[in-house]
Structure 1
Amino acid sequence: MNPHPEDLVPNPRRQVLEQTLVEVKARVAIPEAALDPAHGQFTGRPVWVGPTARRFAEDLSARRVRLRQATRALVDALEDELRSIPPKVPPSAV
């Protein structure tokens, strides 16, 4: 038997995941921005030149991209999980 919408209650699992997502989004901003100052220096005006400097700058850029991809994947996984959880459930499911 399907419960009536008025018989449903907020899903506590979803509420916890929503809170977790908010916290993770705030925390991933820190590592996402961690390489920005160094990246800005190496991709802005020349501070170090030559082949070694170019390789370093390329490696720094690649690591910055991978770091952002990793943090984005974490947030995406939480958002995917959140979408799969119903916002309301019968009281017996709590």
Structure 2
Amino acid sequence: MAELVPNPLHAALGEALRTVEPLVQEIESGIEPPYRDFHEGRVWTGPAAKKFDAQLVQHRTRVRGAGEKIISDLQRALAVTPPPGERGGGQSNQAAVRPSLTRPSELRERFRGRGATR
């Protein structure tokens, strides 16, 4: 019987998740204090501040949503990828998991639809 070899995709997905999770947490924790200070009116007030606050809320929401999406995509892909030493059960992992964005053009289209600019 042939010896099973480690699944490099499983290892790569695990490493990507371990790398990305702290970065997402760092980004989220970095935006929270300024958001809180600004949103509570401790930094700047007036009509221009209100407009900026609305934009900050929108950007904070997008940042948090994107981070959550990246982590959940990696977790989902890792969950359906056989770990090292296991067979895949005869089904292709590519058929089981399609990343939410596979090409830069899809990324551009996704953000173009949300009103993002370059």
TM-score, L = length of structure 2: 0.60
Count of residues in correspondence between the two structures: 85
Unaligned runs of 5+ in 2: 89-118
State the secondary structure of the residue aligned to 1:35. helix
Take 1:38 and 1:61, find their aligned partners in 2: how far apart are those partners? 11
The CA distance in 1 between the partners of 2:62 and 2:31, in whole Å, is 11
> C-alpha distance in 1, partners of 2:10/2:23?
20
Equivalent residue for 1:16, pick from 12, 16, 24: 12
Deviation at residue 86 of structure 1 after TM alignment: 1.6
Distance in 2, Cα, partners of 1:15 & 1:89: 15
Contact 1:11 1:86 in 2 (8 A): yes
Please state which structure has a larger fraction of its residues in helix: 1
- How far apart, CA to CA, are the structure 1 residues paired with 2:82 and 2:49? 52
Matched-pair identity in % = 32
Give the alignment's Cα RMSD to 1 decimal: 2.3
CA–CA distance in structure 2, aligned partners of residues 82 and 54 of structure 1: 42
Summarize deviations over 1:29-76 as a string: whole Å, max 9, x none.
222223222212112243322221111111111101101111111111
Structure 1 runs (4+) greater than 6 angstroms displaced:
none
The residue that corresponds to 2:65 in the other structure is 69
Q: Which has the higher strand share?
A: 1
SS at match of 2:45: coil
The two structures have a TM-score, normalised by structure 1, of 0.72
Pick the structure with greater CA Rg.
1
> Counterpart amino acid of 1:86?
P
Shift of 1:84: 1.7
**Where does structure 1 lack aligned partners over 5 or more consecutive residues?**
none
